[in-house]
Amino acid sequence: MAAVVEIGGHPPTQADFHSAIAERSDRWYSACLKITRNPDLAADAVQDALLNAWRKREQFASSSRLDTWIHRIAINAALNLLRKSRPGVFEALETDVEDQSDHPDQVLQDYELENHLAASLARLSEVERVCFVLKHLEQWRVREISEEIGTNEGRVKQAVFRAVQKLRVDMQHLKRTEL
């Protein structure tokens, strides 16, 4: 996997970018779609991220993974496009659970879980959805989220807490009774 290998003191090459795109572009698009909830904006965000990453490849920290660096740029691009399309308001988010199983029963369960989670996320407020996705699905720190969306850390923590509480209630019927 060339995209996850340390580049080693030099800017990433075109081949490094191609490898990262081949391996991770679906993940970047999925993350952007969760934020924008618009396939066109998500695709634009990924394209913007790739162009920005290429232009700024000299700034790439060789101790990082190229795909992770581009992923972060893509998330920021999605947030910027969202701000431009609806100033002051965040869009609802959707989820896209990746299928990592070949067993038909597991595929069906994953699909049902994806649908339940998407419906539950759609019932959250925009701020709750964005904060939840960035914190729990994208693994951002509270400070990073607050800086990115322009609010204080307390508001982010409250939004994440409310989102988790609402999701627990909304999805409690999915608890497995079999062990």
Q: Per residue of the chain (179 residues), what is the pLDDT tens digit?
A: 434 434 556 788 888 888 888 888 888 998 888 877 788 888 999 999 999 999 988 888 777 788 888 888 888 888 888 777 765 544 334 444 444 445 666 666 666 777 777 778 778 887 888 888 888 888 889 998 888 888 899 999 999 999 999 988 888 877 654 43
Q: Which domains does the chain have, with CATH numbers?
A: 1-89 (1.10.1740.10), 92-179 (1.10.10.10)
pLDDT reported for residue 33: 83
Within 10 A of 14 (CB to CB), how many other CB atoms are there? 9
- Residue 53 burial (C-beta neighbours within 10 Å; 0-12, 13-18, 19+): buried
Question: Percentages helix, strand, coil for the chain, rounded to the nearest 5?
Answer: 70, 0, 30
List Cβ neighbours of 99 (8 Å cut-off, separation of 6 or more). Answer: 107, 110
Q: What single-letter DSSP state applies at residue 90?
A: P
Amino acid at 17: F
pLDDT reported for residue 2: 39
